[in-house]
Structure 1
Amino acid sequence: MAKKKGHSSHSKRTHKKAGAKSAAQHKKTHHKAKKKEENHLWKIGLGIAGVIILIGLFTNGFNFKGETATGNQGVTEQGAQGTTAQAGAETKGQEGTTSKTEYQGGKAKLEFYVMSQCPYGTQVENAIKPVLDRMGDAVDFEINYIANDNGDGTFKSLHGENEVKGDIVQLCAMKYNPDKYMDMIVCMNENARAIPDNWEQCAKDNGLDVEKIRACYEGEEGKQLLAESIKKSQEVNARGSPTMFLNGKPYQSNRDSLSFQRAICNELGGQHEACQNIPECGSDADCTANPDKIGKCINPNQEDAKCEYVDPVKIQFTVINDKTCATCDTTRIVQVTKQLFPGVEIEYKDYSDPEAKALLEEVGLKILPAYIFDSNVANAARYPQVANALVKAGDKYYIAPAAAGSNYNPEIPEVPKKLDLYVMSQCPFGSQAVQSMQEVLDLFGDQIDFNLHYIANDNGDGTFQSLHGQPEVEEDLRQVCAMEKFPDKAFDYIVCIAKDYRNAPNIWEQCADEAGIDKEALRECAEGEEGKQLLSEDLKNANELGIGSSPTFIINNKNRMSGAQPADTIKSALCQANPDLEGCDQTLTQGSQTTTTTQGAGCGV
């Protein structure tokens, strides 16, 4: 393994030279930088809605069975794993999860795996509460928490120590007030940022035993309850908040109260008084009685709602990929397309095929993987649902690359053993990527050329805008200065910040001292014109490549991988593209087992 100094040296780059070179390598074959406001679609605002819709359509945005969104499809800090009215998931979601709880009959078994401060976890808790009030006697309901057990009585969770404490106090309430704990949880959810400090008032207001909960929460019992809960989450491979199971099967329908109630009633065969007079369907996802036809929900969630079934339209669907692309996985898009259009007939072509190149030229596409439909797609029953994600080109339609997550240009020259990482310095998922990279760099040492870049908006007047505000801009400035002036020590500083990124304004001097960096020299650069010039030059890389999601990895100058990844996944991607790297047989940290890496998650779009 490389010495500490070894991995620090990999963050070395001269912004005006190496940074410009990276941008130049892509400039001819990638799209030119758009206008400033177009180049920064990741900004929070109404303008982001269109992008989210496009991405959500082909990443489980309509709740069809299959894989969920893998990363940078974000509202706030992560994206759509959809519902009709509300969407989102803190991580990759339910892919690969399997419940180990068998349904015993008599009741419907409903399992939630959440993070206590995750907005999407609190959403489903709030939605299930009125359902439990109406039919709790027929539901065996259980909540467990997603976090990391450090094995020494301490824990780590995505949203920090307060979330760990929130998990513990809620578990204590479950144990000592099993009939009222949901009242306390929903009360706490009204101001999730105040968790755990709001637990006592919520417990008092709802008649829970405050003293028993306190003794549990402040003692060893609470820690033991959380350790047991985390173990249950890991047993079902629950990495995303929320991950849900109904009678041992992944729950993938809508997340509103009526949808939960309808799903539970379906499992009970309607044998509960609360199941009477429920609308037949709330969305197309509820219309699955005839799998050979297209189910459409007419008048969803109304008294006269009903499912209608029509024969699928025969559609020709061509998938063009490049066999040399190590990260161009078409599985998810193909799977969802099959579910959207049961009549689809799929043909696969490689970029090396002249017919494939001719078809790409015909529709005007340069980015792979490419997904092209014939004109019949416009006659399909579900076409209106995906029309905004499709681009008409003559008599054909293709999925917009932004909607499909396609980003590979086969014409860009490959640079072996090169890894570029694009982050926002105060994005939790970017910070996870930095920490994962520390382990990867320790393994590979000088074998790889590693470059760290930033994602923000250059206003052109010496000021910048970033998703997480001015503190993020200020930290970006310190980090580009550290890499310029202290290349052998910079990455140690950056990793130190990543471990407590929310507190960067208060800890940067301590991190500089620990890394052996002259903090006054760092301050002078970051607060002066030099820092602004360095950051402005660096931001050109992300802007010219259209990168707006933190983190984004680019391997060998060609293959893009978005979202937080555990160290072993990064290693595997590098080794797949560079099989001659020494150390590929080593196993690094795997996020689902030993860390809280929220695989696939990202900030922005």
Structure 2
Amino acid sequence: MKLFTVLLVTLLFLLAACGGPTGSVVVDEKVNVHLFVMSRCPYGVMAEKFFEPVLKEFKDNINYRVDFIVSENPDGSFKSLHGEPEVKADIIQLCVQNDFNDKFVDFLSCMDDDAKNIPDNWKSCAEKLNLDVKKLEACYSGEEGKQLLSESAKKAKEKNIMASPTIFINGKQYQGPRAPKDFKKAICSYLKAHPSCADIPVCSNDADCPQKEGKVATCENADTKTAKCVYEDAKPFDVVILSSDKCDHCDTSRVSKAFASIPGATVKEFDISSEEGKKLVDSLSIVKVPVVLLSKNVEKTKFWKDQPGLAQVLEDKGDWFKFPDIVVGADFFVSEKVKQDLLKSIGIPSDKPVVDLFVMSFCPYGNAAEDIINNLFGLFGFTVEFRPRYIVYSHYQGGSSDFCLDNGNLCSMHGVQELNQDIREACVYDKEGFRKWLAFARNINKECGPSNADSCWESVAEKLKLDVDYIKECEKGKGLDLIKEDKRVSDAFSIGGSPTFLINGERYTGRRTPEAIKQAICETFSEKPEACNVVLEDSAGKASSGNC
């Protein structure tokens, strides 16, 4: 996950008004609602569930369709982010949508109610709704289902849709909040004469209020008949963005634009070579850029009050608040000496190329990157040092025990069982080396997940003849130190997205394919081995793009 992107999206979301088309239409008008999802993606499932009450309330006035984000291979098979079960779920849902459209919403609801068992729960849902199971079975297992998925995949590809869910209402992409009341409001912008739209409030939240120059808006009595937008003068604060013209990937334009749109904000940008930039680098002991600073008077603004968690994230730098490097993605070192000292602390330079792979143990993109590493290890063997490292955050989700250990200091995105598995895998790498780590990690990827890893891993370890007792002991002891070291390194390099490759300490930003990464590794050899002449299959699948 790129935390800077999350920060940026959050800012843009806070500023966006949930506007829609204006003008009344007759009540017998139809609104087209088109969802693009991955059928096992929890966010896609949530969007379907939240749309359900709106679809039922406006059932005579909505044309509803779901299509799927999936890749079709040249041989006619399909590849989806959450594996073959997701492909199967896509097919059966398309079969129902095509053959029993009047029961489609209820069928989706039934499957989504037991999301962990998708697609295996399809038959019980079909029987519950009195659908023709034999007809669905023929579609599901035959050419009809494949053809439906092929057509669905083309629709997503034509619109270049990769995120689940992506929602279109009357052909316009919907980017507002995704609660039932928000979907209802969006539908009512097209159906103003509908009886269900008569009591839609003026505003449900502050973002519903139109912006006015130099003012901040508050939605009073939100979501009620007496709701209204109230305005007051925006309190001023400064935003300073510090970067370097020598950094070819330090594009701060989007975050600058986002902050400039906040009422009261004055954005200033400096290069580290400028007089003002040098002063900030020296006075604030800046190590890496980009840097985003907020003046302390931001605490008096509505922007600050609306973000109660911001104070816990920001670093106090005297007259300024500073976003942590890992949040901003700051990875361009102001001082070459500082960079070299960091590289030395992780054993670089070495007598062989060093590839560090940063992952989360149940990130599907990271799992796909481990498959690429498997190909590269098969080619290079131990002439290249491959090192797995795990991405761990502090106080993720408020430090909840569902995600964190060590009083919130060690957290993982996909839950505490993922963190536990990170630690176990780090223990295996430390004791047994890369080859056995790779076998353990890839088998875990196939057999286990973030909801059952703590009960699933032992059978995998036993099958691979790993020392289960040692892993258990290490998980509660040395493993915590190993994962803390990984966190130190990932924080030092501002790495927050899985997967991330470092090759000899330099971030790899090229195509995520075995061949492309092989070529990058080969450039670091003083004398290229014969392996560099081997051309690897240039197919990246899930790893070609995307991060957790």
| Same fold per superposition (TM over 0.5) | yes
User: Aligned in 2, Cα 1:210/1:62: closer, same or farther, shift over 3 Å?
Assistant: farther
Query: In the alignment, residue 103 of structure 2 is paired with which amino acid?
Result: K
Deviation at 1:63, TM superposition (A): 2.4
Conserved? CA contact 1:437–1:567, under 8 Å: no
Deviations 1:516-543 (A, max 9, x none): xxx66x6599769999999677545313
Match of 2:289 in 1: 368
Conserved? CA contact 2:294–2:322, under 8 Å: yes
Query: In the alignment, residue 128 of structure 1 is paired with which amino acid?
Result: F
Structure 2 CA distance for aligned equivalents of residues 429 and 179 of structure 1:
36
Which has the bigger relative contact order, CA under 8 A and spacing at least 6? 1
User: Aligned in 2, Cα 1:381/1:61: closer, same or farther, shift over 3 Å?
Assistant: closer
User: Aligned in 2, Cα 1:558/1:344: closer, same or farther, shift over 3 Å?
Assistant: farther
User: Aligned in 2, Cα 1:298/1:530: closer, same or farther, shift over 3 Å?
Assistant: closer
Secondary structure at 1:63 match in 2: helix
Structure 2 CA distance for aligned equivalents of residues 402 and 423 of structure 1:
15
- Of all paired residues, the percent bearing the same amino acid is 29
Match of 1:399 in 2: 323
Of 220, 226, 234 in structure 2, the residue corresponding to residue 298 of structure 1 is 220
Of 343, 353, 363 in structure 1, the residue corresponding to residue 274 of structure 2 is 353
Deviation at 1:308, TM superposition (A): 3.4
Query: In the alignment, residue 125 of structure 1 is paired with which amino acid?
Result: E
Deviates more, 1:367-376 or 1:285-294: 285-294
Match of 2:61 in 1: 138
User: Aligned in 2, Cα 1:56/1:492: closer, same or farther, shift over 3 Å?
Assistant: closer
Match of 1:434 in 2: 370
Structure 1 CA distance for aligned equivalents of residues 160 and 217 of structure 2:
31
User: Aligned in 2, Cα 1:332/1:393: closer, same or farther, shift over 3 Å?
Assistant: same
User: Aligned in 2, Cα 1:375/1:479: closer, same or farther, shift over 3 Å?
Assistant: closer
Structure 2 CA distance for aligned equivalents of residues 399 and 474 of structure 1:
32
User: Aligned in 2, Cα 1:288/1:364: closer, same or farther, shift over 3 Å?
Assistant: farther
Deviation at 1:552, TM superposition (A): 5.2
Secondary structure at 1:468 match in 2: helix
Deviations 1:221-278 (A, max 9, x none): 1122112212222222222211222333332211111101111222x16232222111
User: Aligned in 2, Cα 1:525/1:245: closer, same or farther, shift over 3 Å?
Assistant: same
Deviations 1:464-489 (A, max 9, x none): x96437666554444445535x5xx9
Secondary structure at 1:126 match in 2: helix
Structure 1 CA distance for aligned equivalents of residues 30 and 506 of structure 2:
48
Conserved? CA contact 2:461–2:467, under 8 Å: no
Query: In the alignment, residue 337 of structure 1 is paired with which amino acid?
Result: F
User: Aligned in 2, Cα 1:401/1:528: closer, same or farther, shift over 3 Å?
Assistant: closer
Structure 2 CA distance for aligned equivalents of residues 61 and 535 of structure 1:
37
Match of 2:339 in 1: 413
Structure 2 CA distance for aligned equivalents of residues 395 and 187 of structure 1:
55
Of 388, 413, 416 in structure 2, the residue corresponding to residue 452 of structure 1 is 388
Structure 1 CA distance for aligned equivalents of residues 15 and 158 of structure 2:
22
Match of 2:542 in 1: 595
Deviation at 1:124, TM superposition (A): 0.9
Conserved? CA contact 1:423–1:549, under 8 Å: no
Structure 1 CA distance for aligned equivalents of residues 224 and 524 of structure 2:
57
Secondary structure at 2:10 match in 1: coil
Structure 2 CA distance for aligned equivalents of residues 447 and 324 of structure 1:
33
Query: In the alignment, residue 295 of structure 2 is paired with which amino acid?
Result: D
Of 87, 96, 108 in structure 2, the residue corresponding to residue 164 of structure 1 is 87
Structure 1 CA distance for aligned equivalents of residues 34 and 83 of structure 2:
24
Conserved? CA contact 1:363–1:396, under 8 Å: no
User: Aligned in 2, Cα 1:538/1:262: closer, same or farther, shift over 3 Å?
Assistant: same
Structure 2 CA distance for aligned equivalents of residues 154 and 214 of structure 1:
18
Secondary structure at 2:418 match in 1: coil
Structure 1 CA distance for aligned equivalents of residues 195 and 41 of structure 2:
33
Query: In the alignment, residue 512 of structure 2 is paired with which amino acid?
Result: A
User: Aligned in 2, Cα 1:421/1:219: closer, same or farther, shift over 3 Å?
Assistant: same
Query: In the alignment, residue 10 of structure 2 is paired with which amino acid?
Result: N
Matched, 1:213 2:160: no
Secondary structure at 1:180 match in 2: helix
Query: In the alignment, residue 486 of structure 2 is paired with which amino acid?
Result: A
Match of 2:512 in 1: 567
Structure 2 CA distance for aligned equivalents of residues 252 and 347 of structure 1:
29
Of 301, 309, 317 in structure 1, the residue corresponding to residue 239 of structure 2 is 317
Matches within 5 A, 1:129-208: 129-208=52-131
Conserved? CA contact 1:115–1:145, under 8 Å: yes
Structure 2 CA distance for aligned equivalents of residues 164 and 500 of structure 1:
18
Deviations 1:55-92 (A, max 9, x none): 955432772479xxxxxxxxxxxxxxxx9xxxxxxxxx
Deviation at 1:165, TM superposition (A): 1.7
Structure 2 CA distance for aligned equivalents of residues 569 and 345 of structure 1:
46
Of 485, 488, 497 in structure 2, the residue corresponding to residue 544 of structure 1 is 488
Of 455, 465, 468 in structure 1, the residue corresponding to residue 418 of structure 2 is 468
Unaligned 5+ runs, structure 1: 1-41, 43-51, 67-82, 84-104, 460-464, 511-518
Deviates more, 1:404-413 or 1:134-143: 404-413
Deviation at 1:210, TM superposition (A): 3.1
Query: In the alignment, residue 344 of structure 1 is paired with which amino acid?
Result: A
Query: In the alignment, residue 453 of structure 1 is paired with which amino acid?
Result: R
Conserved? CA contact 2:298–2:304, under 8 Å: yes
Structure 1 CA distance for aligned equivalents of residues 208 and 537 of structure 2:
42
User: Aligned in 2, Cα 1:259/1:334: closer, same or farther, shift over 3 Å?
Assistant: same
Match of 2:395 in 1: none
Of 57, 63, 67 in structure 1, the residue corresponding to residue 13 of structure 2 is 63
Structure 1 CA distance for aligned equivalents of residues 423 and 89 of structure 2:
31
Higher helix share: 2
Deviations 1:370-426 (A, max 9, x none): 112335534544231236425454443333445444465534325688642223444
Match of 1:337 in 2: 259
Aligned residues: 488
Structure 2 CA distance for aligned equivalents of residues 326 and 450 of structure 1:
27
Deviation at 1:170, TM superposition (A): 0.9
Conserved? CA contact 2:287–2:333, under 8 Å: yes
Deviation at 1:193, TM superposition (A): 0.6
Of 263, 279, 283 in structure 1, the residue corresponding to residue 205 of structure 2 is 283
Of 180, 184, 196 in structure 2, the residue corresponding to residue 261 of structure 1 is 184
Normalised by the length of structure 2, the TM-score is: 0.72
Conserved? CA contact 1:408–1:559, under 8 Å: no
Deviation at 1:175, TM superposition (A): 0.6
Of 265, 269, 272 in structure 1, the residue corresponding to residue 194 of structure 2 is 272
Normalised by the length of structure 1, the TM-score is: 0.66
Matched, 1:249 2:172: yes
Unaligned 5+ runs, structure 2: 19-27, 344-348, 393-403, 407-411, 450-455
Structure 2 CA distance for aligned equivalents of residues 491 and 225 of structure 1:
37
Structure 2 CA distance for aligned equivalents of residues 475 and 439 of structure 1:
19
Conserved? CA contact 1:110–1:245, under 8 Å: yes
User: Aligned in 2, Cα 1:178/1:203: closer, same or farther, shift over 3 Å?
Assistant: same
Structure 2 CA distance for aligned equivalents of residues 530 and 298 of structure 1:
54
Query: In the alignment, residue 567 of structure 1 is paired with which amino acid?
Result: R
